Amino acid sequence: MSELVIWTLDWVPMPDGPAGFVRDLRLRWACEEAGFDYSVKTVPLDGKGPDHLARQPFGQVPFLDDGDLKLFESGACLLHLAGKSEKLMPHDPAGAAETLQWTIAALNSVEMASVPWWFLEVTGAKENGLTDLLESRLDGLEAVLKEREWLAADRFTVADLLMADVLRVKKIREFGDRPASESFVKRITERPAFKKAYADQMSHFKAADKAKNKG
Amino acid sequence: MSELVIWTLDWVPMPDGPAGFVRDLRLRWACEEAGFDYSVKTVPLDGKGPDHLARQPFGQVPFLDDGDLKLFESGACLLHLAGKSEKLMPHDPAGAAETLQWTIAALNSVEMASVPWWFLEVTGAKENGLTDLLESRLDGLEAVLKEREWLAADRFTVADLLMADVLRVKKIREFGDRPASESFVKRITERPAFKKAYADQMSHFKAADKAKNKG
């Protein structure tokens, strides 16, 4: 097995920054679920240089090294990791297709509405023109989650991991009354692999902040 | 090879509706590139029923049958089709990973900004709070397309198909001066498979509109 390296930011503002929500967490979580060894490396938050943009043309994190193979986009990294372990995705054609479908639904049906909605909220739009769109997507998902425990293949997959991470954003969780979705997020984020990934990310950013304030 | 069925809408308003942009086009295009036989079936635009929602919980199209296997989300359908033909994606690990990365980038970095931006424009927001986000994503992509002809693996892949379809939305193409992106869209949509898929979708909706107006 080739060496896995997850790339994230060297530092984010504490305590009001995105610590606990930086998307390297998705990759840490997937590696913990699969039992993969991995290391974490960083690029500077300030002054995105050519090295960062060469790896991620939109200036974001995370990105992943899998030996010589290099990937960006958390969704692509998750599907790549899922191809390496049945713990993240069944590899039979029907199970893989269903996992793929729900992974893309998390990215392109739910997060496509939730992230821009959240962005308008935090940048202070007086009326958020995406509220109806977000509501309709969350309602569609709630109807699905009322009927089943897992999104795909009757078992935990990387699609549950990603959807729970999308829904975990606090503003989205406070938005409307959707008990099946709430229970889903609670159940999926109670997994030891999530707790380990979350604690490790928090430790990373707390240590970085302590070092910065000393320096 | 099992039977492929692409599901779309029975009718959309003409001439100002989304004909030419309904996302079954992405799947038709991929099938034309790969040389797959396929048929097209429809669900009603008006009154999304339980049959539609059982197949697509957000009430959208397209969805795909591949024999017994059923998928929704255009991005998931494209990656599924790409797994069946080297014409859509190289199947070596590095080529497949790069294609996956740029397919997800089209969905989650570019379209995540462009669709909500477009939605705010057409619903008449006075100030579009997503303009800076969209500009930054389009600029990141322009810098990449200045340096290369294809997004992934030095050849045409399903990532080019999807990114060109995302950028093909007229409002996005009129937004800013990005010659490499403009040339990319022109080059990719000059492919015979795109022209065939586009003509077939237009014929479908023109015939449906004619039948409706007669009835």
Please answer whether residues A142 and A180 qualify as being in contact, where contact means their C-beta atoms are separated by less than 8 angstroms: yes
* Torsion angle, alpha carbons of B65, A166, B145, B184, to 10: 40
Looking at per-residue pLDDT, the higher value among A214 and A6 belongs to A6
How does DSSP classify residue A3?
Answer: P
Burial of B51 (0-12, 13-18, 19+ CB in 10 A): exposed
Pair A4, A39: CB distance under 8 Å:
yes
Confidence class for position B126, pLDDT limits 50, 70, 90: confident
B161 in contact with chain A, both atoms CB, cutoff 8 A: no
pLDDT at residue A38 greater than cutoff 80: yes
Indicate whether this complex's ipTM tops 0.95.
yes
pLDDT tens for each residue of B50-105: 889 999 999 999 999 999 999 999 999 999 999 999 999 999 999 999 999 999 99
CA B187 to chain CA centroid, Å, is: 16
Instruction: Kindly state the tokens that stand for A109.
Output: 């049906």
Q: What is the 3-state secondary structure (H, E, C) of A34-98?
A: HCCCCEEEEECCCCCCHHHHHHCCCCCCCEEEECCEEEECHHHHHHHHHCCCCCCCCCCHHHHHH
A147 touches chain B (CB under 8 A): no
Of A104, A120, A95, A84, which is closest to residue A163 (Cα–Cα)?
A104
End-to-end CA distance of chain A: 38
Contact of B136 with A147, CB cutoff 8 Å: no
Tokens 């089709």 locate to B81
The SS3 of residue B8 is strand
pLDDT of residue A214: 87
Chain B residues in contact with A117 (beta carbon < 8 A): 116
User: Residue A44's closest CA among A12, A77, A5, A4?
Assistant: A12
Give dist(CA B169, CA B144) in Å, integer.
20
Statement: residue A1 has pLDDT above 80 = no
The whole-angstrom separation of Cα A38 and Cα A196 is 13
Alpha helices in B17-106, H assignment, sequence order = 24-34, 50-55, 74-82, 93-105
Per residue in B13-27, pLDDT (tens digit) is: 998 889 999 999 999
Nearest CA in chain A to B61: A109
Per-residue confidence (pLDDT) for residue B174, from 0 to 100: 81
The pLDDT score that the predictor gives to residue B65 is 98
Handedness of CA A81, A84, A87, A91 (dihedral sign): positive
Query: Domains of chain A by range and CATH?
Result: 4-86+193-205 (3.40.30.10), 93-191 (1.20.1050.10)
pLDDT value at B47 more than 80: no
pLDDT of residue B2: 83
pLDDT at residue A128 above 80?
yes
pLDDT value at residue A50: 83
- Strand order through the sheet with B39-43: B39-43, B4-9, B63-66, B69-72
What is the pLDDT averaged over residues A133-158? 97
Q: Does the distance separating the beta carbons of A137 and B130 come in below 8 Å?
A: no
**Tokens representing residue B116 in the block:** 């909500």
**Two tokens at B154?**
């030095």
Name the nearest CA neighbour of A152 among A110, A107, A90.
A90
| Distance in angstroms (rounded) separating the CA atoms of residues A82 and A184 | 21
The pLDDT, as a whole number, for residue A17 is 87
The bridge status of strand B63-66 relative to strand A39-43 is unpaired
Report the percent of chain B where pLDDT is more than 70.
99
| Gyration radius (Cα) of chain B, Å | 17
Q: CB A76 to CB B103 under 8 A?
A: yes
Q: Which of residues 62-101 of B touch A (CB under 8 A)?
A: 66, 68-69, 71-73, 75-76, 79-80, 93-94, 97-98, 100-101
Least confident segment among A5-9, A72-76, B48-52, B129-133: B48-52
- Average pLDDT of chain A to the nearest whole number: 95
**In this predicted structure, what is the pLDDT of residue A62?**
98
Name chain A contacts of B140, Cβ cutoff 8 Å.
53, 57-59
Q: What is the pLDDT of residue B56?
A: 95
H helices present in chain B, as ranges: 24-34, 50-55, 74-82, 93-105, 111-122, 131-145, 158-167, 170-173, 179-189, 192-214
Q: What is the pLDDT of residues A40-94, one digit of tens each?
A: 999 999 877 888 999 999 999 999 999 999 999 999 999 999 999 999 999 999 9
Q: Is the pLDDT of residue B142 over 80?
A: yes
Provide the number of CB pairs (under 8 Å) joining chain A to chain B.
Answer: 129
pLDDT tens profile A8-33: 999 999 988 899 999 999 999 999 99
Q: Residue B124 has what pLDDT?
A: 77
CB contact under 8 A, A129 and B109: no
Range of weakest confidence among A39-48, A178-187, B96-105, B189-198? A39-48
> In what helix (H) or strand (E) does residue A136 lie, and over which residues does it extend?
helix A131-145
